[in-house]
Amino acid sequence: MIKKIHHIAIAVRDVEKAAVFYEKILGLKLGGVEEVAGMDVKVGFIQIGETRIELVQPLDPASGVAKFIEKKGEGIHHICYEVEDTAAALRAFEERGAKLIDKTPRIGAHHTKVGFVHPKSTGGVLTEICESS
Ligand code: CO
């Protein structure tokens, strides 16, 4: 059911400032910068082969990502796995005992269907699933 790691997300205070490391030091390229409506975040993607690093910047100080940075500082925020069908995967995970943040898919970056599994049932790692984009 899980096809690959789609992206690893890093919580940052500023997407463009954080991207300097990836572009100037690692020689990668930032693309796909967009504000995700309804999630109060600005994201930017750095493509690396089949996977990506997602830089996530909070736009609202009350958002989950803002609170994450306040508590833990900038750093790895979540891992996202690609699945064929987000809704079906969420149902299966719940049946297998996972605590979900999203019982049904929501629209994430680049208009893909995404869903989050609560870190309480993943060993502390916020876990996202998405369909291919
Ligand atoms: Co993500």
pLDDT (tens digit, 9 = 90+) per residue, 26-39? 999 999 899 987 78
Q: Ligand 1 centre and the CA of 92: distance in Å?
A: 20
CA of 53 to the centre of ligand 1 (A): 9
Does the pLDDT of residue 67 top 90, yes or no? yes
User: Percent of the chain beyond pLDDT 70?
Assistant: 99
- Count of domains observed in the chain: 1
Q: What is the rounded average pLDDT of the residues 103-127?
A: 92
Could you give the CA distance from residue 46 to residue 37 in angstroms, rounded to a whole number?
20
- CA dist., res. 39 & res. 33, Å (int): 14
Averaged pLDDT of the chain = 94
Question: For the domain that residue 21 is a member of, what is the CATH number?
Answer: 3.10.180.10
Q: For residues 96 and 88, is the Cβ–Cβ distance under 8 A?
A: no
Q: What is the pTM of this model?
A: 0.91
Please indicate whether residue 32 or residue 115 has the higher confidence score (pLDDT): 115
CA of 27 to the centre of ligand 1 (A): 22
Q: What is the H or E stretch that residue 103 is in?
A: none
Distance from residue 69's CA to the centre of ligand 1 (Å): 16
Rounded Cα distance, 102 and 9, in Å: 18
Q: Which residue blocks in the chain are alpha helix, DSSP H?
A: 15-20, 64-72, 86-95
Domain that holds residue 89: 2-131
| Pair 121, 98: CB distance under 8 Å | yes
Ligand 1 center–CA 7 separation, angstroms: 7
Q: How far does the centroid of ligand 1 lie from the alpha carbon of residue 6, in Å?
A: 8
